[in-house]
Structure 1
Amino acid sequence: MTAHPLELTRSGAATNTQSIILSVLIPFYGDDPRPLLASLAAQAQPGIEIILFDDGAPDAALSAAVTQAVIVADAAVTLITSPVNQGRSRARNALANAASGDWLLFLDADMEISPGFLSRWRASLKETDCDALFGGYAPCEPRSRHERVHAALAHASDAVDAQTRSAQGAFAVCSSNLAVRASLFARCPFDEGYAGWGWEDVDWALSAASLGQVGHVDVPAAHGGLQSADELLSKFARAGTNFARLLTRHPAYESRPGARLARKLQATRLSLPARLIGRSVARWDWAPMKARILALKLFRAGAAARDLPRGRA
């Protein structure tokens, strides 16, 4: 990829980076990070910096508004603006390269945090012997009927406690609400071979687990940006090549239920029917919610089966 100059904007408080303990890192592309920034700035203490990455500035008005919010912020805030879209992995790597903290905390721009969030993270990081910790998700509440299926999927798959996640180890780690020691991240950045949405976080967790200790803690954050069934289906449809890359790099993931289902659909040549059935049921508002969740998972497996290289079933 051709190198493009990055523009930096800093708040008045973002001057001393010598005593930073925690760098909070937030990439965004289209989503408005200002509500999250305001919540973080209100909780920020000495030793904490906040860095945002505007990944391509697709919305000029939003970029201008975020820039102004950074300039007037009371906390130590830096905004990095890229003139072109770098992608999820490159954006996170750029954030890590700009960070000064001993710990890096990755958040998504559409996340919502509760009071005391940063204090709980600092306490957890002070006590842990791990090299990376996943804080988990808080329950997500839909704001409209179009978001109900995404909220239900999040409740079923993501909103589980640290004890439950610990039993799955690195398989249960996501890149949003993830704290990593800077020393580990220097050895294990995100793989920039992933394009678009999906699976780069699982790849990172499996790679990191081979280099350090990856653990779980209960410091949840909620995703405010719930999506409609059509939006989820569109993302799943585009993620098949990333899933194929994950299995190539980490064959152990073949043992996971979703991977096994994708391989079975591939072996039985049922990828297309799985996608058609999954899409139809997931979009039906009157269908039982459990059926819609299963339909989304079936569609995702069908999309993965379509793009997987031939391998063991």
Structure 2
Amino acid sequence: MNAMTEIPMREHANAAGLLVRKPGLSILIPFYGDDPRPLINALGPMAERADDFEIVLYDDGEPDPELNRAICAHIDRFDLPMRVLTSARNRGRATGRNLLASAARADWFLYLDADMIPDDGAFLERYRRAMADDVADAIFGGYVTADAEHPDQILHAALSRSSDHHDATTRNAVGATAFCSSNVLVRASVMRACPFDQGFSGWGWEDTDWAVTASNGFHLIHVDNPARHGGLQSTDELLAKFKAGAVNFRRLLDRHPELSGLPGARAARTLKAVPGQHWLRGLWAWTSRNNALPLRLRTLAVKLWRASWTSEVL
């Protein structure tokens, strides 16, 4: 893996993290400003023995040094092996996940986002059974979206629930494109053979690219073992993210032309054929931001905004 080793990295390990060499599972948690301590606290009681699993965290650029210090102090209180890897510069989502895979010591990895919480106490036990039964090479457990804590996050919550909340039966019918890079259980050997493509920058689509690529040589399945996902963003943050993510969607289609039938690609091609459609972006942005309008209308507006920017790069 090209881990951009010229950028300085440091590592902080707790006492157990210095001793345990072969845990049963490596739980890999990238973060950028989010606080993973609630997730660590939720996972701790699920350990069956001292070497049941390790937790490896990756701070991508250390935007909050105080938070980094607090997390390092927090893991020192645990008897489970835990480490914090810190990069001096932000490397991005794909590179961060590859760095975590390089640092992990188990034969199985579980990627979780820092703002996730397992939906119940049997979360890890379900994955243990899946590993023992050898059911697949990679497994996506799905997720549910936390409630919005601020009115400006309501649109993101509604969009997530309408687009991404599907049970395993529905997701298995869709296949690899229904995978996300969070709450994924995957063999270490798969990650060695198929790392994340570090040509994706910023937000979006590196997880879809990884899953589609991995599905060509490995067995990927969906199960119902959700984690609750926080990290809801404001409408302005969402609009900026979708605008910036258009170039990544183009990279996805360039690498996988067979995905040209995805709904986002079809919508973008349709808008590209509409003269002057880019003048409507102001209306779609205004509609998305207007809390007085029905959520369904605001959700449609943000989807049109995303498709419009994607049309620019197709």
Q: TM-score range by the shorter chain?
A: over 0.9
Displacement of 1:144 in angstroms is 2.3
CA contact (8 A) 2:138 2:187 kept: yes
- CA deviations on 1:111-133 (whole Å, 9 max, x unpaired) are 12232221222123322431111
Matched AA of 1:82? S
Cα 1:163–1:128 shift into 2, 3 Å: farther
- CA deviations on 1:146-182 (whole Å, 9 max, x unpaired) are 2211111111111211011111000100001111111
Cα 1:128–1:298 shift into 2, 3 Å: farther
Tell me the residue number matched to 1:112: 117
- SS of the equivalent of 1:9 reads strand
Q: Confirm whether residue 259 of structure 1 aligns to residue 265 of structure 2.
A: yes
CA contact (8 A) 2:145 2:230 kept: no
Displacement of 1:274 in angstroms is 4.8
How far apart are the structure 2 equivalents of 1:160 and 1:171?
Answer: 13
CA contact (8 A) 1:271 1:305 kept: no
Tell me the residue number matched to 1:100: 105
Match of 1:240 among 243, 246, 271: 246
Matched AA of 2:263? P
Matched AA of 1:29? Y
How far apart are the structure 1 equivalents of 2:168 and 2:276?
Answer: 36
How far apart are the structure 1 equivalents of 2:135 and 2:276?
Answer: 46
Tell me the residue number matched to 2:75: 70
Displacement of 1:16 in angstroms is 4.3
- CA deviations on 1:248-273 (whole Å, 9 max, x unpaired) are 00111111111111112123345513
- SS of the equivalent of 2:11 reads strand
Bigger drift between 294-303 and 15-24 goes to: 15-24
Matched AA of 1:295? A
Bigger drift between 270-279 and 293-302 goes to: 270-279
CA contact (8 A) 1:26 1:109 kept: yes
The runs of 5 or more residues in structure 2 that have no matched partner are none
Tell me the residue number matched to 1:131: 137
Q: TM-score, normalised by structure 1?
A: 0.94
CA contact (8 A) 1:277 1:299 kept: no
How far apart are the structure 2 equivalents of 1:134 and 1:64?
Answer: 31
How far apart are the structure 2 equivalents of 1:11 and 1:197?
Answer: 31
Displacement of 1:18 in angstroms is 4.1
Bigger drift between 253-262 and 112-121 goes to: 112-121
Matched AA of 2:18? T
Bigger drift between 242-251 and 107-116 goes to: 107-116
Match of 2:91 among 56, 67, 86: 86
Matched AA of 2:65? A
Percent of pairs with identical residues: 46
Tell me the residue number matched to 1:14: 17
Tell me the residue number matched to 1:39: 42
CA contact (8 A) 1:274 1:298 kept: no
Cα 1:300–1:67 shift into 2, 3 Å: same
Q: Confirm whether residue 58 of structure 1 aligns to residue 74 of structure 2.
A: no
Q: Confirm whether residue 224 of structure 1 aligns to residue 227 of structure 2.
A: no
Cα 1:219–1:270 shift into 2, 3 Å: farther
Which stretches of structure 1, 4 residues or longer, exceed 3 Å deviation after superposition?
15-19
Tell me the residue number matched to 1:23: 26
Displacement of 1:108 in angstroms is 0.8
- Over the aligned positions, Cα root-mean-square deviation in angstroms equals 1.5
The runs of 5 or more residues in structure 1 that have no matched partner are 309-313
Bigger drift between 254-263 and 265-274 goes to: 265-274
Tell me the residue number matched to 1:311: none
Matched AA of 2:44? A
CA contact (8 A) 2:27 2:109 kept: yes
Displacement of 1:145 in angstroms is 1.6
Matched AA of 1:36? L
Displacement of 1:237 in angstroms is 1.1
How far apart are the structure 1 equivalents of 2:179 and 2:106?
Answer: 21
Displacement of 1:299 in angstroms is 0.9
- SS of the equivalent of 1:299 reads helix
Cα 1:129–1:117 shift into 2, 3 Å: closer
How far apart are the structure 1 equivalents of 2:165 and 2:213?
Answer: 23
Q: TM-score, normalised by structure 2?
A: 0.94
How far apart are the structure 2 equivalents of 1:115 and 1:220?
Answer: 11
How far apart are the structure 1 equivalents of 2:208 and 2:113?
Answer: 16
